[in-house]
């Protein structure tokens, strides 16, 4: 029997300490003589700050991480008849973004431990119709971007790095989001650089691509002259209040990220012996790691979930089915193929709290309960 968790999976008080700041910024934007509530100087300042923090040539703020994926694919020229190789395990926008443009998502199976896309699978699925390879970092681990970069370059296709969960992650000294022709971050509240609203960011080393995304996010206008539409675009503009709030929060981002990483280090140490007992943690270390959530693979996932909830630990089982088995995307999937690792991931994955507001005592309690479950006689 389960009880209400005393340690929430995602905290409900993420921005309580900054409530007054948010109200002050709301007043500041609302009383600014410019009366510009979207795509003003604050948004431009946030774009420059994110651009410089990761060493990109450009950064373009968008209405959400999902719309950012669509805008980049459109800027790549993706449309009907094209294929985009995506992971079979992950969040719906991976498949929805190409479908919304009339393209076909081609689903690649994932690594059985990390649940990120398998580069060998990706390479085997590239055809003359492939326009883009779109890997996604997943929960605790970045995809193998060096291998995927080589595959995309060799095949002559574009590489779009879905870094929605990985902002702040680093692989081989290179920031998540900068391995591809473009990368995408999400600012939805529970992400590592989340905010109390929707938002996302495209980062790219290609200035021309950045310009194209800017036009597409604003109904095809280039920002020079209003109501002159150079192409068919979308409304994916960024809010000035949120831009001001994120500028305020950006200096504290490394500290919050470090706290998440330290919790991940502690879990890795506590769980290192559990694989033979049916619970496999993500690979240890910090290179190529994300600290959005900490996801375990458990042979008795549902029993572990019930045990944690009964002992005051919030947890979450993501994705009940692989993307090609979801009703929305099954019509676009190759029915002759199977994705066993993605299916097993849906059956075994369970995420536990890793947010920076956790106390040491709470982190210890979470680890204690995972170990207690694994070590008790079956």
Residues 243 and 302 in one domain: no
36 is catalytic: no
Contact present, 357 and 12 (Cβ < 8 Å): no
Q: Strand pairing of 349-352 and 130-133?
A: unpaired
Residues 227 and 294 in one domain: no
Q: What pLDDT digit, counting tens, does each position of 175-228 carry?
A: 999 999 999 999 998 899 999 989 999 999 999 999 999 999 999 898 888 888
Contact present, 184 and 164 (Cβ < 8 Å): yes
Q: Percent of the chain scored above 90 by pLDDT?
A: 90
Does 369 fall in a domain? yes
> Which CATH number characterizes residue 369's domain?
3.90.1150.10
Q: What pLDDT digit, counting tens, does each position of 42-94 carry?
A: 999 999 999 999 999 999 999 999 999 999 999 999 999 999 999 999 999 99
Beta strands in the chain (DSSP E): 58-62, 83-87, 104-108, 130-133, 158-162, 170-171, 174-175, 182-186, 200-204, 279-280, 294-298, 349-352
Of 235, 243, 238, 240, whose CA–CA distance to 216 is shortest? 235
Instruction: Residue 153: give the domain boundaries.
Output: 16-251
Of 195, 220, 180, whose CA–CA distance to 71 is shortest? 220
Does 277 fall in a domain? yes
Does 4 fall in a domain? no
Look at residue 11 in the predicted model and tell me its pLDDT. 86
Residues 347 and 365 in one domain: yes
Whether the predicted pLDDT of 2 surpasses 70: no
Would you tell me how many other CB atoms lie within 10 Å of the CB of residue 365?
18
Does 185 fall in a domain? yes
Does 59 fall in a domain? yes
Is the four-CA dihedral 134, 107, 69, 77 of positive or negative sign? positive
Residues 180 and 269 in one domain: no
Q: Percent of the chain scored above 70 by pLDDT?
A: 99
- Bridge partners, 297 (sequence order): 280, 349
Domain boundary among 251, 279, 301: 251
The catalytically annotated residue of 74, 191, 260, 365 is 191
* Alpha helices in 240-324, H assignment, sequence order: 240-249, 253-271, 301-310
Whether the predicted pLDDT of 1 surpasses 50: no
Q: What pLDDT digit, counting tens, does each position of 115-159 carry?
A: 999 999 999 999 999 999 999 999 989 999 999 999 999 999 999
């Amino acid at each position: 029997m389960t009880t209400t968790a005393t340690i929430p999976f995602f905290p409900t008080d993420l921005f309580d300490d900054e409530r007054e700041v948010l109200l002050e910024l709301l007043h500041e934007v609302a009383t600014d003589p410019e009366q510009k509530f979207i795509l003003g100087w604050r948004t431009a300042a946030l774009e420059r700050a994110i651009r410089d923090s990761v060493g990109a040539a450009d950064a373009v703020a968008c209405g959400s991480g999902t719309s950012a994926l669509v805008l980049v694919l459109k800027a790549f020229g993706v449309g009907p008849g094209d294929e985009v190789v995506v992971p079979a395990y992950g969040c719906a926008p991976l498949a929805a973004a190409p479908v919304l443009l009339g393209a076909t998502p081609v689903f690649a199976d994932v690594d059985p431990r990390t649940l990120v896309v398998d580069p060998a699978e990706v390479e085997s699925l590239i055809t003359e119709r492939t326009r883009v390879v779109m890997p996604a970092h997943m929960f605790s681990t970045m995809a193998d971007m060096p291998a995927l970069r080589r595959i995309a370059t060799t095949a002559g296709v574009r590489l779009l790095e879905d870094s929605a969960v990985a902002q702040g992650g680093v692989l081989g000294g290179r920031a998540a989001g900068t391995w591809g022709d473009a990368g995408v971050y999400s600012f939805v509240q529970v992400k590592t650089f989340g905010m109390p609203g929707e938002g996302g960011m495209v980062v790219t080393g290609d200035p021309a691509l950045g310009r194209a995304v800017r036009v597409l996010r604003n109904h095809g206008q280039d920002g020079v002259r209003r109501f002159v539409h150079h192409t068919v675009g979308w409304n994916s503009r960024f809010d000035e209040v949120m831009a001001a709030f994120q500028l305020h929060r950006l200096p504290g981002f490394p500290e919050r990220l470090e706290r998440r990483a330290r919790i991940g280090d502690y879990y890795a140490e506590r769980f290192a012996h559990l694989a033979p007992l049916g619970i496999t943690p993500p690979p240890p270390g910090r290179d190529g790691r994300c600290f959005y959530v900490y996801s375990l693979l458990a042979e008795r996932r549902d029993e572990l979930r019930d045990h944690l909830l009964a002992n005051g630990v919030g947890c979450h089982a993501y994705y009940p089915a692989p993307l090609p088995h979801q009703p929305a995307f099954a019509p676009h999937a190759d029915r002759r193929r199977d994705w066993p690792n993605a299916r097993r991931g849906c059956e075994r994955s369970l995420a536990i709290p890793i947010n920076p507001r956790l106390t040491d005592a709470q982190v210890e309690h979470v680890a204690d309960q995972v170990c207690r479950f694994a070590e008790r006689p079956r």
